[in-house]
Structure 1
Amino acid sequence: MPFDTLGLTPALAQAAAASGFAAPTAIQAAAIPAILQGRDLRGSAQTGSGKTAAFSLPLLQRLTAQPASSASRRLRALVLVPTRELAAQVGETLEDFARHLPQRLKIVVAVGGVSINPQMMRLRGGADIVVATPGRLLDLVEHNALALDAVSMLVLDEADRLFDLGFAEELQRILALLPARRQNLLFSATFPIAIQALADDMLHDPALVDVQGETGTRPDIVQRAIEVDASRRTQLLRQLLKENEGTWDRVLVFVATQHAAQTVAEKLYRNGIYAVPFHGDIAQGTRRDILSQFKQSRWDVVIATDLAARGLDIAQLPVVINYDLPRSPTDYIHRIGRTGRAGASGLAISFVSAATEAHFRLIEKRQGQRVPRERIAGFEPVEVAPLVVDTSGNGGIKGARPSKKDKLRAAAALAAASQRNDAEPND
């Protein structure tokens, strides 16, 4: 199916082909016609499935079909993303597609972590499209560098992250500044049930596109789980990297904290492995350089927090390693989705200790896939799981706390058990 059958202009169909899309992906084939019709949309698809192009191409076409009404550009399309890296990536994609258009569109990327002044200068004279993180967007509005009253298209990329507690207040402030009549487009690899309810509140008669379960849409990712004591993970990581030096040209390793990112990267570097940390306390310019150099294979290994788990497109990344398991099954999906992108195959390895075995079983359950456990000679675990009674019913998984009804049932069960014990005769 060629792109022009979806309703795209020849220029944008050519732009898609020039970006490496031989044919529309499942999410693109389903979403582009609905967006061109002006419908609201909630789109869900695996990472690496072409979601950015699925909203960028029709967004550009709708803007060019309705030229700005005055010489001074008023912002007509707003794309909100949760991270600076994703903002830069989406901005680059829009610029690449827009180069094929007969008329010039002004696209501005606005993120925190850098001086606001250059972004304010860039916004002089207005913009057609702004790609922004929520906090910096509000800063620009407060500085009168930007007005949102003419926005006709709103895109939330990685929408589930934007709706969670970390961004919820900022998102509500932004929505209050937007016109009531607008087209809303929500995209993410995951839409937990609680997030779906919040998302649907802002959508009007939306097209619901979910290609997660369709044949051929799942990324080709082989998952492995290696049992190892927590204290020996760095040694095992170093051995795996050395053994696969000829085949793993780049490896993305996920850890739980900024301190772990620094520590593990330093230990690997001292052992002759070109590793670098990547986390939120590193300056934005440095982070941008690290990603650029990693894509060019100038770094062998990046040790990252979940800052790198969403939206980043690193072509042909062969391996992702979970040194620490993520807090939630949703984060696990986003992490391993950094490999196996755009039809390529990938490998995702998780280190599982006795203390994290129950947590990994819940991750398996949520993704509906069992991952066989492996042991590496010389690294057989000796630790045993701590004797901790989990009364939450969720294994400590973030976002899955027992409901009030669950707590009442548990209390009733305990009361019944106590009555039975009281009724039994003593020996």
Structure 2
Amino acid sequence: MTFADLIIDQDMVDALASKGIVEPFPIQEQTIPLALSGQDIIGQAKTGTGKTFGFGLPLIQRLGPNPEHGVKALVVVPTRELCVQVAEDLELAAKNRKTQVVAIYGGKAYEGQIEQLKAGAQIVVGTPGRLLDLASQRMLDLGNVREMVLDEADKMLDLGFLADIEKLFSKTPSDRHTMLFSATMPGPIVALARRFMSKPIHIRANDPDEGLTQANIKHVVYRAHSLDKDEVVARILQAEGRGKTVIFTRTKRAAAKLVEELGDRGFNAAAVHGDLNQDQRERAMAAFKAGKKDVLIATDVAARGIDVHDVTHVINHTIPEDEKTYLHRAGRTGRAGKTGIAVTFVDWDDLHKWALINRALEMDQPEPVETYSSSPHLYEDLDIPAGSKGRLKPTPLKDKAPDALGGRPGSGSGAASGLSNRPPRSRNRSRTRGGQGGTSALGAQQETTSAPEASGTHDGQGHEHHDGNSAPRRRSRTRRRSAKPE
């Protein structure tokens, strides 16, 4: 089956074909015909199965090839990264028509987004906070919205956006066409659907024989020591056939530290986390998608927006908090029908967390294998070439502590005397007593240019110079105490 068979307009079929997207996925086959007819839909499918085009193509087609200016469709997403990704997909589908798409999200200046709205953008993709902000400023009018989509609804719930979603629904007409998409369906999301949707049809695009985890993803779990993790990661990054890789950390600090460590080891790594501003995050994502960086280190906030089809490995540097987070992390690989590998490190203190995840996902791996960077099974499990080390380039030379004599290793003949590796000075110091060539009656030092007949000697072993003269007498100073005022 092709998209043309699903009665999608030819201009959109051609736009998708230009990127090699020809055959629809199961969720798209089931969703598109119903959505084109105006049926409210609850779509449930695992991440990476094509939900965006499942709702995006019908939405664009229902607006027509030349829609009037003004917001006619609203797509609400939980994160900035996902907002950018969905907007790019919709722009691709609509590139052969006059429909305009604008991404509305925080961390970016208001002016550019407001200009696009004033220019007449018909489709708005946005995060709840910025959407409500612009709506309260009367810069975003949702009164004419005919199509509304709630994407990744379960993540909205996790991030505490449920109240904001209800406010957005209340600002749109009650007779709008509504679609809700989510990987899981917790109770509050079902209640939200019943409240704001009209007789929705629930579509599940899951294979009943597949189990809770995707069959095209190999899941590997290791009990690893925190001090050895970076070395293990570096060796995994040298596995046969490794493509783009996403590494998840629990904290922003850990992500920043790991990207620096991998960069020092010679890997092309970028990071996406909350301590970076939005421009930095977007540049990192763009470099990863373009292949300039083949390792992306991220915290869970960015997980939903990483929609790159050629990710071969996902590495959980720290164990996810629960089974839902595990599924969303692992879902970054094995997308669009391709295969992938998900590697999870479990610390000794987190074995109880893994037991819960293992039981919930029925993974049948209750005891993670104790693994170190030198473990033979690590190389066998992940097709790592024998002899691989955790560094692509040599360790940079750094200054070491001075030795016992005050020198530095490798500084040549001057090492013993604590001198840097530089040519010796061509001068000799001679001491004279007052009145004998000195400049002061009290005795001063005089520097004279050394000559062949100079009497100074040096034994080359760090001992002091000798000029044959007796040393001058030391001056003694007597301190006089000032009389204390009575």
Instruction: Report the CA distance shift for 1:333/1:144 in structure 2 as closer, same or farther (over 3 A).
Output: same
Letter in 2 for 1:105: T
TM-superposed deviation, 1:312 = 2.1
Equivalent residue for 1:248, pick from 235, 242, 252: 242
1:374 matched to 2:369? The reply is: yes
In 1, the alpha carbon distance for the partners of 2:108 and 2:141 equals 21
Q: Which moved more, 1:18-27 or 1:214-223?
A: 214-223
TM-superposed deviation, 1:251 = 1.7
1:368-403 CA-partner distances (Å, limit 9, x unpaired): 3224733435668xxxxxxxxxxxxxxxxxxxxxxx
1:212 matched to 2:206? The reply is: yes
1:245-287 CA-partner distances (Å, limit 9, x unpaired): x532432110111111112222222222333321022111111
TM-superposed deviation, 1:105 = 1.0
TM-superposed deviation, 1:14 = 3.1
Mapped contact 2:273–2:298 kept (Cα < 8 A) = yes
Aligned twin of 1:352: 346
Aligned twin of 2:398: none
Larger relative contact order (CA 8 Å, sep ≥ 6): 1
Tell me the TM-score normalised to structure 2 length. 0.72
Instruction: Report the CA distance shift for 1:67/1:117 in structure 2 as closer, same or farther (over 3 A).
Output: closer
Aligned twin of 1:228: 224
1:44 matched to 2:39? The reply is: no
1:81 matched to 2:77? The reply is: yes
> What are the residue-to-residue correspondences of 1:23-422 with 2, within 5 Å?
23-64=23-64, 67-68=67-68, 73-101=69-97, 104-214=98-208, 218=214, 220-241=216-237, 243-244=238-239, 247-371=241-365, 373-377=368-372
Which of 1 and 2 has greater Rg?
2
Mapped contact 2:66–2:99 kept (Cα < 8 A) = no
Tell me the TM-score normalised to structure 1 length. 0.81
Letter in 1 for 2:361: Q
Unmatched runs of 5 consecutive residues or more in structure 1: 381-427
- Provide the secondary structure at the position in 2 that maps to 1:318: strand
Mapped contact 1:11–1:100 kept (Cα < 8 A) = yes
Letter in 1 for 2:190: Q
Structure 1 vs Structure 2 CA RMSD:
2.2
In 1, the alpha carbon distance for the partners of 2:227 and 2:372 equals 16
Mapped contact 1:50–1:342 kept (Cα < 8 A) = yes
Mapped contact 1:163–1:171 kept (Cα < 8 A) = no
Instruction: Report the CA distance shift for 1:280/1:117 in structure 2 as closer, same or farther (over 3 A).
Output: same
Which protein is richer in helix relative to its size?
1
Q: Which moved more, 1:5-14 or 1:275-284?
A: 5-14
In 1, the alpha carbon distance for the partners of 2:102 and 2:236 equals 42
Q: Paired residues, what number? A: 372
Q: Percent identity?
A: 37
Aligned twin of 2:390: none
Deviating beyond 6 angstroms after TM superposition, the runs of 4 or more aligned structure 1 residues are none
In 2, the alpha carbon distance for the partners of 1:227 and 1:346 equals 21
- Provide the secondary structure at the position in 2 that maps to 1:356: helix
Mapped contact 1:163–1:198 kept (Cα < 8 A) = no
Letter in 1 for 2:185: F
1:324-346 CA-partner distances (Å, limit 9, x unpaired): 11112111111111111111110
Unmatched runs of 5 consecutive residues or more in structure 2: 376-486
In 2, the alpha carbon distance for the partners of 1:219 and 1:105 equals 38
In 2, the alpha carbon distance for the partners of 1:65 and 1:215 equals 41
- Provide the secondary structure at the position in 1 that maps to 2:304: coil
Mapped contact 2:248–2:318 kept (Cα < 8 A) = yes
